[in-house]
Structures are given as C-alpha cells and as structure tokens.
Amino acid sequence: MVDVGRRRWTPSVVRVDQVDHGSYVPVYQQLVAIMKKRIESGEFPPGRLIPSEKTLQQEYGVGRDTVRRVVEILREEGLIFTVPHRGSYVAER
C-alpha cells in the first residue's frame, strides 16, 4: 500500500498494482513503480523478457507514449536492457 495522492475523495491509500488516472502522481511514475515491483518480486527474473509495449498498454490501459517512457526509465536505471525489435530483458542482478 502506497500513498499515491488523490484528487477529491478519500482512500489516500491505494493498491499500486493498477494505474490511477485520477492521481496527482503521473501515470508513468505509477507504472514505473509497478514494474519495479514486478521485477524485484521475481516475477521477471534476470534474462527474462518483460511484456511488450503493446501488452503493457493493454494490461494497464495506458498509451504507448506512457509505456515507452516507463521502459526508458527502467533502462536508464539499469533494471532492463532493450534489444531492438525483440523486446526488453531484465538485467542481471
């Protein structure tokens, strides 16, 4: 449970396994957090392909712009590496 901020009503705390379009926190930042969790949880071990951009778009109901930004950030932080036209793999350790 993480406080992602909200606009009008309560919880003030929500699950972060889905994106909240009404949050003050940008969608791409929420998705970065989600993907980090999925990677660190071991769901995607080192060497494993993460879902394609298209899959991620559908899974989270976000645009490609957003997904590509998320992937770019994960890559910059060294969590994954991308092979053009093949996909993005989880980096070692």
Partner DNA sequence: CCCTATTTGTTCGTATGTATT
Partner DNA sequence: AAATACATACGAACAAATAGG
Q: Which residues 1-60 are close enough to bind DNA by CB under 7 A? A: 21, 24, 26-29, 52-55, 57
Q: Which residue, 15 or 64, has its beta carbon nearer to DNA?
A: 64
CB 61 within 8 Å of CB 19: yes
Rounded Cα–Cα distance for residues 11 and 32 (Å): 22
Query: Amino acid identity of 56?
Result: L
Q: Which residue, 37 or 54, has its beta carbon nearer to DNA?
A: 54
Rounded Cα–Cα distance for residues 32 and 51 (Å): 14
Q: Which residue, 26 or 78, has its beta carbon nearer to DNA?
A: 26
Neighbouring CB atoms inside 10 A of 88's CB total 22
The reply on whether position 88 binds DNA by CB under 7 A is: yes
Residues within the interface to DNA (CB under 7 A): 21, 24, 26-29, 52-55, 57, 61-66, 68-69, 71, 82-88
